[in-house]
């Protein structure tokens, strides 16, 4: 039976995909895992495969077309003679219909969220629709930062309030709810991102109807307009996602910065010795390895904020910021606390090359627990970096310099690097961040420990 093949959502942040090339023509037969098309997402260019044997009956999106995730880009069927007139009519109707975002409903019967046991479109008890890709359950490895949309229950007789544990609320609100016997699921939240506040709970307990949240403020600074002679460069999918995620991180997380100089004399000598033996190794590779060992020593840094808890990651997966012509991406070095320097060097070279060619897969750029951004090769002595959500820390590494230093009371020269650790204060306190930098400095000053 013929059916639509939809633009897959290759990552949770992807909103639109661009069709770069069709690898099959109309009428071609495909086997499972055959490549149907190449699509540019917000992160990279990816080859899209089919899951079952089929025939490409109709191409709906031309090369270069930008299509929202979940919208049809082709029609697939079992044989070339299938009637697709109904699907074509439905496709034209969908194109003509106004674009609205569906609101997931809340199921009445509470049940544990188990995407593998539910339909890919059936909402869960919290109103979260499990992510799917062309009808298949998405691997949890690409779930970077899911946005949870909670639908508040109505006052209709059959409505069931959400369980209190599923509602975004402040600690004071939860305490007030326990004292007054109020179910948080039935309370209209007026705080940031619909968070239920203590005042909301007390209003509900007193029977006072909640007021709608205030309208968002008018921009204090208007958006710029292009003047004659200006060059207008449309934002790529990647640039739009970078803007949204980093603005959200900047607005949501209370951060502070810790700056320290590393004594790099031993690291320089260590790398020179390995280089003389024919081993290719960069200073950045050594810093990644040092941070991996330090995160293993101080696991409280390898963590993320989750409103009601702090999640300490079991795996030390370090993101490595790589600059691209259209933005920035962070390939991930998995298990950086246990890999040898040679393995880390091989990983960084391979991942950087794939990133610059737009060939990274979703599991290669998602799920990092800590990020390093190194601008030393650009001659930048010192800078600060914005958090890569949902991580608690990011390390900004400046250029190595041969500078005057004082050793044993005498003036000398030595190699030094200035680094700045950006910390989410909800997870990391100043003393803890300082301890982590001290641990990294210890490995840098004695690389034989790595």
Q: Could you read off the pLDDT of 434-443 as tens digits, one per residue?
A: 999 999 999 9
Q: What's the pLDDT at 208?
A: 77
CATH class of 3-96: mainly beta
| Highest CATH level, class, for 164-205 | few secondary structures
pLDDT at 151: 40
Q: DSSP assignment of 131-192, as one string?
A: PEETTEEPPGGG-SS----PPPP-SSTT--PBPGGGS-B-HHHHHHHHHHT--TBTSPP-SG
Residue 77 Cα to chain centre, angstroms: 35
Instruction: Please check whether the domain covering 252-449 is classified as CATH 3.30.559.10.
Output: yes
What's the CA gap between 233 and 244, in Å, rounded? 18
Residue 115: partners with Cβ closer than 8 Å, 6 or more residues away:
130, 131, 137
For this structure, is 204 an active site residue? no
Task: Please state, for a pLDDT cut of 70, what percent of the chain lies above it.
Answer: 80
Could you say which of 204, 250, 402, 425 is catalytic? 425
Q: Which residue from 102, 101, 48 is spatially nearest to 76, judged by alpha carbons? A: 48
Confidence (pTM):
0.57
Interacting residues of 433 by C-beta distance below 8 A, sequence separation 6+: 256, 258, 301, 393, 421, 423
CA distance 295 to 259: 18
Ranges of residues in the chain with a pLDDT under 70 are 11-13, 42-43, 98-166, 192-193, 210-221
What is the predicted pLDDT for the residue at 89?
A: 87
* Domain assignments of the chain as residue spans, ordered by start: 3-96, 164-205, 252-449
What integer pLDDT is reported at residue 201 of this predicted model?
A: 86
User: What whole-number distance in Å separates Cα of residue 266 and Cα of residue 273?
Assistant: 11
Q: Is 116 left (phi over 0), alpha (psi -120 to 50) or beta?
A: alpha
Q: Where are the beta strands (DSSP E) in 266-391?
A: 303-305, 310-312, 318-320, 322-324, 327-329, 332-333, 370-374
Q: Look at residues 46, 50, 26 and name the one whose alpha carbon lies nearest to residue 38.
A: 46
List all residues 6 or more positions away from 393 whose beta carbon is below 8 Å from its beta carbon: 301, 370, 371, 387, 421, 422, 423, 424, 427, 428, 433, 436
């Amino acid at each position: 039976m013929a059916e639509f093949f939809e633009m897959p959502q290759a990552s949770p942040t992807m909103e639109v995909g661009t069709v770069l090339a069709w690898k099959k023509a109309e009428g071609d037969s495909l086997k499972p895992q055959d490549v149907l098309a190449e699509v540019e997402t917000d992160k990279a260019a990816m080859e899209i495969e089919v899951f079952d044997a089929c025939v490409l009956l109709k191409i709906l999106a031309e090369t270069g077309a930008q299509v929202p995730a979940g919208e049809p880009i082709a029609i697939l069927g079992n044989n070339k003679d299938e009637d697709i007139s109904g699907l074509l009519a439905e496709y034209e109707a969908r194109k003509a219909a106004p674009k609205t975002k569906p609101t997931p409903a809340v199921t009445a019967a509470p049940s544990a969220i188990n995407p593998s046991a539910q339909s890919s479109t059936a909402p869960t008890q919290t109103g979260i629709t499990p992510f799917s890709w062309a009808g298949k359950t998405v691997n949890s490895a690409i779930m970077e930062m899911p946005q949870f949309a909670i639908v508040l229950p109505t006052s209709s007789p059959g409505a069931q309030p959400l369980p209190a544990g599923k509602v975004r609320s402040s600690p004071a609100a939860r305490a007030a709810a326990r004292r007054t016997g109020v179910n948080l699921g039935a309370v209209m939240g007026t705080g940031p991102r619909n968070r239920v506040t203590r005042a909301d709970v007390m209003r509900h307990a007193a029977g006072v109807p909640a007021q709608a949240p205030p309208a968002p403020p008018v921009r204090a600074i208007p958006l710029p307009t292009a003047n004659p002679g200006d060059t207008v460069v449309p934002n790529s999918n990647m640039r739009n996602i970078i803007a949204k995620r980093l603005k959200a991180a900047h607005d949501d997380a209370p951060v502070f910065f810790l700056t320290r100089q590393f004594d790099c004399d031993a690291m320089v000598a260590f790398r020179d010795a390995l280089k003389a033996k024919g081993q290719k190794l960069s200073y950045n590779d050594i810093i990644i390895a040092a941070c991996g060992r330090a995160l293993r020593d101080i696991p409280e840094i390898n963590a993320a904020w989750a409103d009601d808890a702090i999640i300490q990651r079991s795996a030390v997966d370090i993101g490595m910021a790589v600059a691209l012509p259209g933005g920035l991406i962070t390939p991930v070095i998995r298990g950086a606390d246990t890999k040898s320097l040679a393995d880390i060097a091989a990983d960084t070279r391979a991942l950087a090359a794939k990133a610059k060619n737009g060939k990274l897969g979703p599991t290669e750029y998602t799920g990092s627990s800590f990020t390093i951004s190194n601008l030393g090769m650009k001659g930048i002595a010192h800078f600060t970096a914005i958090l890569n959500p949902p991580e608690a820390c990011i390390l900004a590494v400046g250029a190595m310099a041969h500078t005057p230093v004082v050793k044993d009371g005498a003036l000398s020269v030595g190699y030094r690097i200035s680094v700045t650790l950006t910390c989410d204060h909800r997870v990391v306190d100043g003393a803890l961040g300082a301890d982590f930098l001290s641990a990294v400095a210890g490995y840098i000053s004695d690389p034989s420990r790595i």
